[in-house]
Amino acid sequence: MTRSVPDETRTRVLELRDLIREADYRYYVLDDPTLTDTQYDELYRELVALEGEWPELHDPESPTQRVPGVVAEGFEPFEHPSPMVSLDNVTDEEQFRDWVGSGDRYLRSEDERRYSVEPKIDGIGLELIYEEGVLVTASTRGDGLVGENVTANARTIRSIPQRLRGDDVPAWIAIRGECYCRKEDFFAFNRAAEEAGERTFANPRNFVGGSLRMLDSRIPASRPIRYFAYALGGVRGASFDNQDAILEAFRSYGLPTIPEARIVDGVDAVATRYAELVEARDDVPYEMDGVVVKVDDLALQERMGMRTRSPVWAVAWKFPAQRALTRLNDVDWSVGRTGVVTPRAILEPVFLAGVTVQHATLHNLDELERLQLQIGDEVEIERAGDVIPKVLRALPEQRSGDERDIVVPDRCPACDTELHRDEGKVALRCGNFACPAQITGHLAHFASRGALDIRGLGEKQVTQLLREGLIKDAADLFHLEEDALAGLERWGPKSAQNLLAQLDAARTRPLDRFLVGLGIREVGERGAKILARAFGTLDGVRAATKEELLELDEVGEALADSVLEWFGEERNEAMLERMAQGGVAPAAVAAPSGGAFEGLTLVLTGKLEELSRDEAKRLVEAQGGRAASSVSKRTDLVVAGPGAGSKLKKAEELEIEVIDEAEFLRRAGR
């Protein structure tokens, strides 16, 4: 069982870890990537594979170990080494100059009028503690004295180094900064969530805050959250004279700092920098809601000291709000690809932050309920950056009595199918696969690269084929005839033949890609792979029972129900039937063959000592088997470690073979 790792493997693993750490640093900290996403993914996958194959090389600091395999039960309170203070606010230049004046008596010379001016990022404060350069805790601000220990989630943020760079790191340091999400990442996330009928977030700050408080670290790991360091919470084994030196040190440790931060001399220079940042507000990639002005010199900060809850030496100078009042004229409802029906506010046009605003997002039903809007209401709207404006609140005190309630549709505005609201989800949904409003998006998705990859069939072509009546749904694609296609405007024999050839190749794409293409909700790329591998064929997936689905690792209630519902839908069955008649036969996805566990279903239970749970699962898969989460009569083998409980008992009842970890490793050829 003990084997020695070949030198070249060990060297390669160390090299891959270095390459990935360096790439993360270039990408997230320097904002100057050196690898393409594909190159990065290749390196990452190679490392995961080697570490799976050679558990001996396990290292908790490996870039692959940022996401733990376990779900936390809660967050421990964490007492900050010194209070995480909040700042007093000023809203205009006069107030700002008053703040400056109030500090005059502490000055020993005019040279001390030097300030650090940093954008105030609208995110969530996070304190990082490093001991001997190694990240030991990350905690939220909480009430300023005691926050929550969210270390596991913070480790998933790739702009936060697990280990500080350089040889000259302090013995202990508390670093404070902000977790945030870039605007474009935030919109992309919300768009995808909306498509999938998942909850969307009102702003990047809520998004980041919610993510940091997830008990399952895989969730924040999959979200585009970043970090900026901007303040020192305490240090041993180093000393700094001013804020400038602190930020410089942070950068040398490999921590990202806010690129727009500047050190300026004199009060006028602060006002100038403030005006520049107001101007740049829409162009920087993250939401700024003001600037933080700090006295640069730490000795002067010391002399100025603290009020009860806020420092005298720093202030937040807020940006003017980009808000306006207008009237809500109506609410309309649109249907997305997956059938999610979304409300949108139609507003009396109003000029706001450089553009005329006529529409605002209302997100979903929960948001509508929260806002308690009525049509005809005076509403306050806000526009931040190039964001779609949103409705902040209604002004019910302005009502005349002529307002009317917003009617939430109970039927699809496009196809009149009865709408439903999934349990636990905020989305209102049209479940009709044949809904005309969904079909265009559906077909484009079916043909997209992650699904059947039918080149030459984009949204434009889909719209044309639908309009000309050549297709009504995805099944019709496989009954298209050359003559009909060639006769279309801007087509010809050549493009018709090309599309038919593409369709021909699509008929036998692997089952998982086909499942992605069907657009069954909850079934993304990963879910489709799991289903395809577990059941092998389309008929296998079709015949799966809820019990069988839930037995699969990583398959929960929502996915299982969604699959059953989709295949239970008569028109979906009919469509699959017509696809089959059109020659569609998705290729079975076979588990790697020839492995020690080929075709077997294994359940792992109890504590494993040699391997982590994830490593053991990967080993099962690499050897052609399937790791299931519960024991049933379809289980072939149970691997039980110390502490195994009910699963072991069930296995014994069902007379299923039980082996220990050593035997498992032996059979796997380790």
By CB under 5 A, name the one of 135, 412, 499, 552 that touches Zn ion.
412
Q: Is 181 in contact with 250 (CB distance < 8 Å)? A: no
Residue 643 CA to its chain's centroid (Å):
35
Total binding residues toward Zn ion, as defined by CB under 5 A = 7
Alpha carbon distance 434, 367 (integer Å): 28
Phi then psi for residue 482, to 5 deg, are -60, -45
State the minimum distance, in angstroms, from the CB of residue 365 to Zn ion: 17
Q: How far is the CB of 424 from Zn ion (least distance, A)?
A: 22
> Stretches 66-74, 79-87, 407-415, 476-484: which one binds Zn ion (CB under 5 A)?
407-415
State the nearest-atom distance from the C-beta of 437 to Zn ion, in Å.
6
Nearer Cβ to Zn ion (157/196): 196
- Runs of H (alpha helix) within 31-132: 37-53, 93-102
Where does this chain touch Zn ion (CB under 5 A) — which range of 35-43, 189-197, 289-297, 431-439? 431-439
Taking CB under 5 A as the binding criterion, the range among 2-10, 100-108, 432-440, 627-635 that sits at the site for Zn ion is 432-440
- Give the angle subtended at the CA of 162 by the CAs of 121 and 65, to the nearest 5°: 115
Q: How many other CB atoms sit within 10 Å of the CB of residue 538?
A: 23
Q: Which is nearer to Zn ion, 391 or 412 (CB)?
A: 412
3-state class percentages of the chain: helix first, strand second, coil last, to nearest 5: 40, 20, 40
Residue 435 binds Zn ion (CB under 5 A)? yes
Distance CA 12, CA 486 (A): 54
Min dist CB 341 to Zn ion, Å, is 8
Q: Is 430 in the site for Zn ion (CB under 5 A)?
A: yes
Q: Report DSSP state, residue 180.
A: E
Q: Of the listed 120, 183, 294, 617, which one is catalytic?
A: 120
Q: Is 432 in the site for Zn ion (CB under 5 A)?
A: yes
Interaction of residue 415 with Zn ion, rule CB under 5 A: yes
Q: What does the angle CA 357 – CA 362 – CA 368 come to, to the nearest 5 degrees?
A: 135
In the three-class reduction of DSSP (H, G, I as helix; E, B as strand; rest coil), residue 508 is classed as coil
- DSSP for 537-573 reads SHHHHHH--HHHHHHBTT--HHHHHHHHHHHH-HHHH
Tell me whether residue 414 or residue 584 sits nearer to Zn ion (CB atom): 414
> Minimum CB separation from Zn ion for residue 571, in Å?
12
DSSP 28: I
Is 529 one of the catalytic residues?
Answer: no
CB nearer Zn ion, residue 100 or residue 575: 575
Round to whole Å and give the CA distance between 243 and 227: 18
Q: Which of 414, 631, 638, 640 binds Zn ion (CB under 5 A)?
A: 414
Closest CA to 172 of 79, 236, 231, 232: 236
Distance between CA atoms of 502 and 445, rounded to whole angstroms? 15
Nearest CB to Zn ion, comparing residues 301 and 432: 432
Of the pair 430, 656, the CB lying nearest Zn ion is at: 430
> Shortest distance, CB of residue 431 to Zn ion, whole angstroms?
8
Which residues contribute to the site for Zn ion (CB under 5 A)? Answer: 412, 414-415, 417, 430, 432, 435
Positions marked active-site:
120
